[in-house]
């Protein structure tokens, strides 16, 4: 079948991507749009959202929300369900980075990062699960990190958030699999996005010099593969890293 005539893999599906206005989230949103899904991008960056809306028109829905604001976070899933009624795929992706020595990070930066990288993800999944359980179907994908699997000593705060995330993914999956809901995570190594600008400079230079950086599209392609498996198959947790990256 030629590419023009094949049915798009996500036709009829509704996908929500948090932190979808840039980087990995945007690549995820774009690949799902290209595969026929109705996509809702959630982000705090209203200027980037307005530009994307102009680019994609009616195909794309956008929700401006600062997920670190507890009221906006609590309103998110009800707000989407009120307008679109269905969520087939929820990609919990919004995240912050704090690198460097623990003592370099302020208490406030630690709070914000842990709040967004763990608490907000749990709260979003908490709110979307009843809807998916009631329908007996749904996919929850979480952007974790290589730092959630290997100790990365240049980023103890960030790595701790992603190890906690891996624990959450593995436990919640067991609670919901009998309801037809799949939970998977994708754990990339360094990806060229704005988040990398917060990496310790020396580490970034090292990664650039060894050519061990990936494109956001490579992560999105992995997510698409997970989302398009037959319902009786769950791809659990994919670690995707540059071949040159030595840990």
Q: Which positions touch ligand NAD (CB under 6 A)?
A: 19, 21-25, 43-45, 65-68, 93-96, 116, 143, 145, 188, 190-191, 193-196
Please answer whether residues 200 and 7 qualify as being in contact, where contact means their C-beta atoms are separated by less than 8 angstroms: no
Residue 177 tokens read as 């699999």
Active site residue 97: no
Please answer whether residues 167 and 214 qualify as being in contact, where contact means their C-beta atoms are separated by less than 8 angstroms: no
Residue closer to ligand NAD (CB basis): 177 or 247: 247
Residue closer to ligand NAD (CB basis): 184 or 190: 190
> Least separation, in Å, of the C-beta of 178 and ligand NAD?
28
In three-state secondary structure terms, 125 is helix
Between CA 100 and CA 14 the distance in angstroms is 38
> Least separation, in Å, of the C-beta of 46 and ligand NAD?
10
Residue closer to ligand NAD (CB basis): 34 or 198: 198
Between the CA of residue 60 and those of 4, 98, 132, what are the distances in Å? 21, 31, 22
Terminal CA-to-CA distance of the chain, rounded, Å?
A: 42
Among residues 90, 97, 141, 158, the one annotated as catalytic is 158
Return the CA Rg of the chain. 18
Between the CA of residue 23 and those of 43, 69, 198, what are the distances in Å? 12, 22, 14
> Least separation, in Å, of the C-beta of 232 and ligand NAD?
28
> Least separation, in Å, of the C-beta of 192 and ligand NAD?
7
Please answer whether residues 192 and 214 qualify as being in contact, where contact means their C-beta atoms are separated by less than 8 angstroms: yes
**Residue found under tokens 């309103």:** 75
Residue closer to ligand NAD (CB basis): 45 or 133: 45
Q: Which residues carry out catalysis?
A: 158
């Amino acid at each position: 079948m030629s590419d023009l005539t094949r049915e798009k893999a996500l036709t009829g599906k509704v996908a929500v991507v948090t932190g979808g206005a840039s980087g990995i989230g945007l690549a995820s949103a774009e690949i799902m749009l290209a595969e026929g899904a109705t996509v809702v991008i959630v982000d705090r960056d209203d200027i980037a959202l307005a530009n994307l809306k102009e680019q994609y028109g009616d195909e794309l829905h956008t929700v401006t929300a600062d997920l670190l604001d507890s009221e906006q976070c609590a309103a998110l899933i009800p707000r989407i369900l009120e307008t679109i009624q269905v969520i087939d795929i929820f990609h919990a992706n919004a995240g912050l980075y704090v690198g460097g020595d623990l003592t370099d990070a302020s208490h406030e930066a630690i709070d914000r990062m842990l709040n967004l990288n763990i608490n907000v993800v749990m709260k979003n999944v908490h709110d979307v699960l009843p809807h998916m359980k009631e329908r007996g179907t749904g996919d929850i994908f979480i952007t974790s990190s290589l730092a959630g699997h290997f100790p990365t000593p240049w980023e103890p705060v960030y790595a701790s958030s992603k190890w906690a995330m891996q624990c959450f993914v593995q436990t919640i999956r067991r609670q919901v699999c009998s309801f037809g809901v799949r939970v998977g995570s994708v754990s990339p190594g360094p990806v060229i996005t704005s988040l990398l600008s917060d990496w310790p400079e020396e580490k970034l230079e090292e990664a650039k010099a060894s050519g061990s950086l990936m494109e956001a599209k490579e992560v999105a392609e992995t997510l698409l593969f997970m989302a398009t498996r037959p319902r009786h198959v769950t791809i659990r947790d994919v670690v995707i890293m540059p071949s040159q990256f030595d840990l």
